[in-house]
Chains A and B, each alone.
Chain A
Amino acid sequence: MIHDAQMDYYGTRLATCSSDRSVKIFDVRNGGQILIADLRGHEGPVWQVAWAHPMYGNILASCSYDRKVIIWKEENGTWEKTYEYTGHDSSVNSVCWAPHDYGLILACGSSDGAISLLSYTGDGQWEVKKISNAHTIGCNAVSWAPAVVPGSLIEQPSGQKPNYIKRFASGGCDNLVKIWKEEDGQWKEEQKLEAHSDWVRDVAWAPSIGLPTSTIASCSQDGRVFIWTCDDASGNSWSPKLLHKFNDVVWHVSWSITANILAVSGGDNKVTLWKESVDGLWACISDVNKGQGGVSALPEGQQNEQ
Chain B
Amino acid sequence: MKLKEVDRTAMQAWSPAQQHPIYLATGTSAQQLDATFSTSASLEIFELDLSDPSLNMKSCATFSSSHRYHKLIWGPHSMTSGERVSGVLIAGGENGNVILYDPDKIIAGDTEVIIAQKDKHTGPVRALDVNMFQTNLVASGANESEIYIWDLNNFAMPMTPGVKTQPLEDISSIAWNRQVQHILASASPSGRATVWDLRKNEPIIKVSDHNNRMHCSGLAWHPDVATQMVLASEDDRLPVIQMWDLRFASSPLRVLESHTRGILAIAWSMADSELLLSCGKDAKILCSSPNTGEVLYELPTNTQWCFDIQWCPRNPAVLSAASFDGRISIYSIMGGSTDSLRQKQVDQLSSSFGNLDPFGTGQPLPPLQLPQQTVPQSVVLPLKKPPKWIQRPVGASFSFGGKLVTFENAKLQQQPGVQQQEQQHHHVYVSQVVTEKEFLARSNQLQEAVQSEGFVSYCQKKIDTAQADFEKNVWAFLKVNFEEDSRVKYLELLGYRKDDLRKKIASALNKEGLADGGLGETLTESDESVPNVGDEGQATEEQFLGESVKDHKQETEDLGSAKKTFNISVSGDVDGLITQALLTGNFESAVDLCLHDNRMADAIILAISGGQELLSRTQEKYFAKMQSKITRLITAVVTKNWKEIVQSCDLRNWREALAAVLTYARPDEFAALCDLLGNRLESEGDSLLQTQACLCYICAGNVEKLVACWTKAQDGNNPLSLQDLIEKVVILRKAVQLSQTVDPNVVGALLAEKMSQYANLLAAQGSIAAALTFLPANTNQPNIVLLRDRLCRARGDIPVGQEALKAQYERQPKGQAGPVVEQMQGPQAPSQQYYQQVRIAPTVTTWSNKTPTALPSHPPAGCPSDTQGDNPPPPGFIMPGAVNPNMPPQQVTPSNYSMYSQAGTRPTYPQTYQATQQYSCGTGGPALYQPQQPIAVPASASYTNPAPNTTPPYLPSAPAHSLPSPLYPGQPQPSPTSLNPVCSFPLPLGASFQHGRPGPPATSVAYALPTGPTGPQNGWNDPPALNRAAKKKKVPSNFLPPVPITFPIMNPLADPQSQVQQPPAPAAPMGAPSFQPPHLPAGPAVLQGGYPTAPQPLGPCVGPPAASKPSTEGAPGAPIGNAIQHVQALPTEKITKKPIPEEHLVLKTTFEALIQRCLLSASDPQTKRKLDDANKRLEFLYDKLREQTLSPTIISGLHNIVKSIETRNYQEGLNIHTHIVSTSNFSETSAFMPVLKVVLTQANKLGV
Contact = CB atoms under 8 A, between A and B. Distances in A.
A302 interface: yes
A14 interface: yes
B395 A252 contact: yes
A176 B53 CA distance: 13
A126 B57 CA distance: 39
Contacts of A145: none
B394 A266 contact: yes
B394 A45 contact: no
Interface in B812-858: 815, 847, 849-852, 854-855, 858
B247 interface: no
Interface string A42-64: 00110100000011111000000
Interface residues of A, number: 105
B315 A137 contact: yes
B223 to A, nearest CB: 17
Interface string A261-298: 10111110111010100000000010011111101111
B638 to A, nearest CB: 48
Given A56-B850, A137-B334, A291 B429 contact: yes
Contacts of B395: 3-5, 251-252, 254, 265
Contacts of B796: 12, 29-30
A1 B391 contact: yes
Contacts, number: 296
A292 B407 contact: no
Contacts of B380: 89
Contacts of A113: 336
B435 A47 contact: no
A3 B392 contact: yes
A304 interface: yes
A11 B400 contact: yes
A13 interface: yes
A29 B21 CA distance: 48
B1193 interface: no
Contacts of A237: none
Given A254-B397, A269-B410, A77 B802 contact: yes
Contacts of B411: 269
Contacts of A28: 430
A123 to B, nearest CB: 9
A134 B761 CA distance: 37
Nearest to B395: A252
Nearest to A78: B803
Contact of B431 (A56, A57, A102, A292): A292
A137 B430 contact: no
Contact of B392 (A29, A251, A257): A251
A261 B798 CA distance: 28
Contacts of A292: 431-432
Nearest to A30: B796
A306 B382 CA distance: 16
Nearest to B318: A137
Contacts of A305: 386, 391
A90 B427 contact: no
Interface residues of B, number: 81
A55 B398 contact: no
Contacts of A295: 403, 429-432
Interface string A70-92: 00001111100000000001110
B889 interface: no
A285 B433 CA distance: 11
B396 A263 contact: yes
A55 to B, nearest CB: 5
Contact of B406 (A90, A114, A271): A271
B398 A254 contact: yes
Given A252-B392, A302-B426, A56 B849 contact: yes
B386 A2 contact: no
B398 A261 contact: yes
B154 interface: no
A138 interface: yes
B334 A11 contact: no
B400 A288 contact: no
A16 B763 CA distance: 24
Nearest to B51: A174
A191 interface: no
Nearest to A101: B855
B335 A89 contact: yes
A4 B793 CA distance: 23
A299 interface: yes
Contact of A74 (B405, B427, B801, B849): B801
B1206 interface: no
A229 interface: no
A288 B396 contact: yes
Contacts of B430: 7, 14, 28, 291, 293, 295-297
A93 interface: yes
Nearest to A133: B53
Interface in A220-254: 222, 251-252, 254
Contacts of B794: 10-12
B408 A11 contact: no
B852 A56 contact: yes
A146 B403 CA distance: 20
A299 B427 contact: yes
Contacts of B435: 260-261, 273, 275, 285
Contact of B433 (A36, A89, A273): A273
Contacts of A137: 3, 50, 315, 317-318, 332, 334, 336
B668 interface: no
Contact of A45 (B386, B764, B790, B851): B386
Contacts of A304: 421, 424
Nearest to A10: B793
Contact of A5 (B315, B318, B385, B407): B407
A84 B806 CA distance: 22
B581 interface: no
A290 B405 CA distance: 9
A274 to B, nearest CB: 11
B1184 interface: no
Contact of B51 (A76, A120, A176, A271): A176
Nearest to B858: A55
A122 B391 CA distance: 34
Interface string A95-107: 0000011111000
A122 B400 contact: no
Contacts of B379: 89
A222 B314 CA distance: 10
Interface of B: 1, 3, 20-21, 50-51, 53, 314-315, 317-318, 332, 334-337, 339, 379-382, 385-386, 390-411, 421, 424, 426-433, 435, 760-761, 763-764, 766, 790, 793-794, 796, 798, 800-803, 806-807, 815, 847, 849-852, 854-855, 858
18 contacts: A1-B426, A6-B397, A9-B793, A16-B407, A19-B391, A29-B800, A57-B847, A111-B382, A112-B382, A137-B332, A173-B317, A175-B50, A254-B395, A257-B398, A265-B406, A298-B428, A299-B426, A304-B424
Interface of A: 1-14, 16, 18-19, 27-30, 36, 44-45, 47, 54-58, 65, 67, 74-78, 89-91, 93, 100-104, 111-114, 120, 122, 132-133, 135-138, 140, 173-176, 192, 197-199, 201, 222, 251-252, 254-258, 260-261, 263-267, 269-271, 273, 275, 285, 288-293, 295-300, 302, 304-306
Given A89-B379, A293-B766, 13 more contacts: A1-B391, A3-B392, A11-B399, A57-B849, A67-B382, A77-B803, A90-B334, A111-B334, A112-B335, A133-B339, A138-B334, A175-B51, A254-B404
3 closest cross-chain pairs (CB), A and B: A29-B796, A7-B399, A103-B852
